[in-house]
Amino acid sequence: MERDTSQVQIALAFPSVAIEHPDYYTARVAVGVLSGGMAGRLFVEVREKRGLVYRVSASHSAARGRAAVFASAGTTPENAEETLAVMLRELRNMKEGASDEELKRAKADLKSRLIMQSELSSVRASAMVNDWWNLKRLRTLEEIKAAIDKVTSADISRHFEEHPFEPATLVTLGPKALSLPDSTLHVGGV
C-alpha cells in the first residue's frame, strides 16, 4: 500500500523446506550465508557495496509441513527499486553455492547461537516442545551440530536448483508500490 513516508519497507517471502525435510539444515545454512550479520551476502551487496539500505536481513522459519524464507530491507524511495533488484539477484545467486569462508561463517554462527540458547532452560524447553510437536522426537545438540556441519556448497547449489526462491510474495510499504520483475510471482501491498 502506498503511504507518504520517507522510507520504504520491502518484505519478500518464499516457500522453503519444512523442519522434517532432509534439506532443512541446508536451507538454514544457506540463509546464514545470506544474512549472517555484516558478512552476509545481503548486507555486503546491498548495504556495504552500494549503500542502498540501513537494514537488510533474511531468516528461515519452519514447522511440520511448511516453511518459508523471509528477506526484508528498509531503504529510501529513491533506492527501493535497485534494493529489490539486488536482493533478488543475491537470492537467485544461491544456486551457485557458497564459498568455503561463507560456509564456515554461517555454520559457526548457527552452532554458536544453538549453544548459547541451549544454556537458557526456557529456550531449551521451548526447543524440545518444538521438536516433539514437529518431529515427534527430540534432537540432541550433537545431532543438530552434526547436521549443520554436513552441509556443503554443492548441497546448497542442489537445494536451490530443486527449491528455488519462487514463487515469491512481495509486500512493500512506502510512497510508491514496487513490483517483481516476473509476472508469475505474487505481489502485495500493505
pLDDT at 190 over 80: no
pLDDT at 2 over 80: no
Measured CA to CA, the distance from residue 60 to residue 68 in angstroms comes to 6
Q: What contacts 95, CB < 8 A, 6 or more positions away?
A: 157, 160, 161, 164
Q: Give every CB contact of residue 108 below 8 A, 6+ residues apart in sequence.
A: none
pTM of the model: 0.88
Phi, psi for residue 171 in degrees, rounded to 5:
-130, 130
> What CA–CA distance (Å, rounded) separates 46 from 56?
8
Residue 76 lies in a domain: yes
User: How much of the chain exceeds pLDDT 90, in percent?
Assistant: 83
Residue 3 lies in a domain: no
Number of domains composing the chain: 1
Please say if the pLDDT value at position 22 is more than 80: yes
The domain in which residue 95 lies consists of 8-189
The radius of gyration computed from the CA coordinates of the chain, to the nearest angstrom, equals 17
Contact 62, 17 (CB under 8 A): yes
Using the predicted structure, report yes or no on whether residue 185 has a pLDDT greater than 80: no
Residue 185: inside a domain = yes
The tens digit of pLDDT for each residue in 125-138 reads 999 999 999 999 99
CATH of the domain at 117: 3.30.830.10
Phi, psi values for residue 21, rounded to 5°: -75, 145
Task: Give one word for 40, left, alpha or beta, with left for phi > 0 and alpha for psi -120 to 50.
Answer: beta
pLDDT classification of 37: cutoffs 50, 70, 90: confident
What tens digit of pLDDT does each residue of 83-116 get? 999 999 999 999 999 999 999 999 999 999 999 9
Residue type, 94: M
Cα–Cα distance, 171 to 1 (Å, whole number): 8
**β-pairing, 186-189 with 169-173?**
parallel
Rounded to whole angstroms, the maximal C-alpha distance in the chain is: 50
Quick check: is 1 in a domain?
Answer: no
Residue 50 belongs to a domain: yes
Which pLDDT does position 139 carry in this prediction? 94
CA distance 110 to 37: 12
Residue 24 lies in a domain: yes
Backbone angle region of 51, left / alpha / beta, with phi > 0 → left and psi within -120 to 50 → alpha: left
The Cα–Cα gap between 91 and 58 comes to: 10
Structure confidence at residue 154 (pLDDT) = 96
